[in-house]
Amino acid sequence: MLDAKRLLDSLLQAGMTESTGARLQNALGPQGLGGQQSGLLGQLAGVLGGERQGTAGGGLGGLLGQVVGGLQQSAGRAGEAIKSNDPVTVGGLGAIVGAVLGGRKGALGGGALALLGSLAVAALQAAQQNRAAAAGAEPPALEQLASDDTALLLVRAMAAAAKADGEIDAQEIARITGKLEEIGADEETRRFVEEELRRPLDLDAIVRAVPGPEVAVEVYAASLLAIEVDTPAERAYLETLASRLQLPRAVVAQVHRAFGIA
């Protein structure tokens, strides 16, 4: 049976573009989660943490909490860890990114979903806090539900974005599936990704599957990780996607800032 969370992890570990690793590094730095207020990071650790997984302090939740705690305790050390290449991290994404994505032996799958969920909640809360401050009210609480359905939707969103500037050719599909093979992804995973890449682009189906604003932000963020955003067609696709997902400009800007994309 296909493990959607591990599939999403594998795609980000392999990197659908040359910029994927750098964007993930940036997401955990000062412009991303590393620059959020400690209270927000603590809340994110709680929402995505062990108590939601039924393993308080352990598993993926504990791992995410350790990463968040490290960023809070020492931004300098975290920054150095992100910049350095850890040889035991799949794809050389850096110590912290590798830990979140399950790049270390024995780590649980689902780190990519946790990371994208954290960024989504952070972006939405920042926008809500700004609106609430202007209105003199308390911002509503947000929760991110991590699920296989969400992970699968994000994989499909990445595949769709890869086709934003036209039909993806066989050489590009072979490059992506080849990277998946290099990091040890099984045949079922590679075959699923190849089939998704070969499907006709259907933005309507992706938008219909989005259950709420948190997942909408995740879909947009995952799409950003799938393309370089260096062609008019890709930029137009992202604008259309943001509009169809009804994402406020402030939220879109926050996601771009977190990934270091102008």
Helix axes 20-27, 111-135, angle to 10 degrees: 50
CA angle 130, 133, 135 (to 5 degrees): 110
Instruction: Note down the domain range covering 113.
Output: 4-259
User: What total of structural domains would you count in the chain?
Assistant: 1
Q: What's residue 132's pLDDT?
A: 54
Mean pLDDT by 10 residues, the chain (262 residues): 88 88 80 53 43 37 43 36 33 41 48 83 78 52 64 96 88 93 91 94 95 94 94 95 96 92 84
How far is Cα 62 from Cα 70, in angstroms, rounded to an integer? 12
Identify the residue whose tokens are 């979140």.
100
**Is residue 119 a contact partner of residue 258, using CB atoms and an 8 Å limit?**
yes
Backbone angles phi, psi at 210, to 5 degrees: -80, 120
Predicted pLDDT of residue 27: 82
User: What's the pLDDT at 121?
Assistant: 83
41 burial class (0-12, 13-18, 19+ CB within 10 angstroms)?
Answer: buried
User: Whose CA is closest to 247, among 143, 120, 153, 150?
Assistant: 120
